[in-house]
Chain A
């Protein structure tokens, strides 16, 4: 299984940018990098995903290293609502129906007012 490693926890101040790192040194060429987050007492929610190029959406940006062995989720202005556990997950091209879609412990982000 391709695996990811993330810091257990991070802290940020409200309205400041947050960079959440993820290492995936064993990534294969066809693995997609997905990010989800889990707010307290909620199910995970999709944030963003990418393959090789950097990606932007209304929630966040995803910066992918050139060698693809690491990626960074960027929240441009953290709000209190962004306090959550953030999961970085690799999804193989052949991984249909979620058989290898495993969420690790993730990074617990605290946002300070």
Chain B
């Protein structure tokens, strides 16, 4: 009964393709996130959604489009993939009772390799 699950775990694709990563959480949380971990292991937020509404959209190219069909799901669609998109993408969720004080629960990541 994984709390935050994302699929696929590995994604290898050619430059220019369009791909999606799916994320689901069964924790009843209101807020979901997408993070990107680059080759230097820095983990930075890309998007956050609260109750299906976009809250945070960091300086991410328009080719990245998150979609939240309901508050348990946050999918990430990437158009026209580029070599620089290769990274590990993590989905996370939290329950914003204390907001700044909340714990984040992460999925196990999707390793995207663009060839």
Interface residues on B, range: 20 to 34
Of all chain B residues, the one with the shortest Cβ separation from A93 is B100
- What's the Cα separation between A42 and B33 when bound, in Å? 16
Shortest CB-to-CB span from B110 to chain A, Å, is: 10
**Is B104 engaged at the interface, CB distance under 8 Å to the other chain?**
yes
B interface residue numbers (CB < 8 A to A) = 4, 31, 33, 35, 37, 40-45, 48, 50, 55-56, 58, 90, 92, 94, 96, 99-101, 103-109
**Most chain B CB atoms below 10 A, which of A32, A45, A91, A97:** A97
Chain A residue, CB-CB nearest to B58: A99
Distance from B88 Cβ to chain A, minimum over Cβ atoms (Å) = 9
Main secondary structure of the interface of B (DSSP, over half): strand
B29 CB to nearest chain A CB (Å): 12
Please give, as numbers and ranges, the residues of chain A lying within 8 Å of B94 by CB-CB distance.
98
Residues of B within 8 A of A45 (CB): 105-106
The 8 closest A-B pairs by CB, nearest first: A43-B106, A103-B43, A96-B99, A46-B103, A97-B48, A97-B55, A99-B56, A43-B90
Bound CA–CA A44/B37 (angstroms) = 11
Interface residues of A in 62-113 (CB under 8 A from B): 85, 87, 91-99, 101-106
* Contact between B55 and A43, CB atoms less than 8 A apart: no
Q: How far does the alpha carbon of A83 sit from the alpha carbon of B58 in the complex, in Å?
A: 31
The answer to whether A105 touches B56, judged by C-beta atoms less than 8 angstroms apart, is no
The answer to whether residues A43 and B108 also contact, given A99-B45, A99-B48, A104-B42 and a CB cut-off of 8 A, is yes
Do residues A42 and B109 form an inter-chain contact, with CB atoms below 8 A?
yes
Residues on the A chain within 8 Å of B56, using CB: 97-99
Find the residue from A41, A44, A87, A102 having the highest chain B CB count within 10 A. Answer: A44
| B58 cross-chain contacts in A, Cβ below 8 A | 99
Q: Which residues of chain B are within 8 angstroms of A98 by Cβ–Cβ distance?
A: 31, 33, 45, 48, 56, 94, 104
Chain B nearest CB from A83 CB (Å) reads 15
